[in-house]
Amino acid sequence: MKTRITELFGIQHPIIQGGMHFVGLADLAAAVSNAGGLGTITGLTQRTPADLANEIARCHDMTDKPFAVNLTFLPTVNAPDYPGYIKAIIEGGVKFVETAGRSPEQYMPALKDAGIKVIHKCTSVRHSLKAQAIGCDAVSVDGFECGGHPGEDDIPNMILLPRAAEELEIPFVASGGMADARSLVAALALGAEGMNMGTRFIATQEAPVHDNVKQAIVAASELDTRLVMRPLRNTERVLNNAAVERIIEKEKRLGKDLQFSDIIDEVAGVYPRIMQEGDMEIGAWSCGMVAGLIHDVPTCEQLISGIMRDADDLIRQRLAGFL
């Protein structure tokens, strides 16, 4: 399948693995890229630029295919060493960067001067247009269904994707609620040039996370996610657990008086204990509603090849059969 996204990134299939904290390590990124998609290393999971450089080198050892690095720009007083991370990306020979969070505008000159293609994750059409205006090469349009931060507009992909298609000139992929061939074909019909999957890639054999995490996704239904931190205008979709219930109780009790410090124990520094140690009740972790469509833990090759085979069948048989 050829789309503007496969052409832009030099990949076989229009499937991107999104950056995920303590999930997007070289092991998963290489497996996705080897299967014909675009794997992504999560930059800020690496504590220092030197650590990121080592992870990039490790990924090169496992694949000769293109892969990306995710850089999330956080609204913090003590920002990470973004110039250092960008230097590691450039010197590591990475040609694709997925940006997220705040606008990457101030870092675009360094990335573009190095010949790096940038795809920015957006939760609205207006942010997508801003990404286009500052020189991003593509956009990952993230609907309300997504795990992690869906923004504050609450627009699902059945509306958001065609709106993006109406407004954007640069190519975009659908993100949020993407799991299988049906997701891909629907995204293409709505104007996207491919799809970005996060939660679905956590439940793969190569994902470097504890099996408890994978089994929690398989066991979950589409009803098992919750939105937290909405009073702080930092809404996050997470899988429900004891910690999430504590956050929700505090949000109800404190209302507009809620401070980040009130929930810090449930949201800060919990990812290593969840993803690496499998402590499923210790804190909140990002998970999409798409968990309801995930019923197994395949290899990345099995997942991606199955999606592409079934997409071909959907297009050639089911959809063509209606004509």
Read off the pLDDT of residues 54-93 as tens digits, 9 standing for 90 and up: 999 999 999 999 999 999 998 776 889 999 999 999 999 9
Task: Report pLDDT digits (tens) over 162-215.
Answer: 999 999 999 999 999 999 999 999 999 999 999 999 999 999 999 999 999 999
Q: Say if residue 304's pLDDT is above 90.
A: yes
Task: Report pLDDT digits (tens) over 225-275.
Answer: 999 999 999 999 999 999 999 999 999 999 999 999 999 999 999 999 999
Q: Say if residue 217's pLDDT is above 90.
A: yes
DSSP code per residue over 27-66: HHHHHHHHTTSBEEEEGGGSSSHHHHHHHHHHHHHH-SS-
Which whole number is the average pLDDT over 284-308? Answer: 98
Q: What is the pLDDT of residue 78?
A: 83
CA distance linking residue 15 with residue 7, whole number of Å = 12
Contacts of 287 (CB under 8 A, 6+ apart): 147, 199, 202, 217, 220, 225, 237, 238, 239
Q: What is the pLDDT of residue 27?
A: 98
Quote the percentage of the chain above a pLDDT of 70: 100
Residue for token digits 């930059």?
43
Q: What is the pLDDT of residue 75?
A: 76
Enclosing H/E stretch for 267 = helix 260-267
Domain boundary assignment for the chain: 4-208, 221-286
Task: Report pLDDT digits (tens) over 26-45.
Answer: 999 999 999 999 999 999 99
Q: What is the pLDDT of residue 74?
A: 86
Record the pTM: 0.97
Which tokens go with 54?
């080592």
Topology of domain 4-208 in CATH is TIM Barrel (3.20.20)
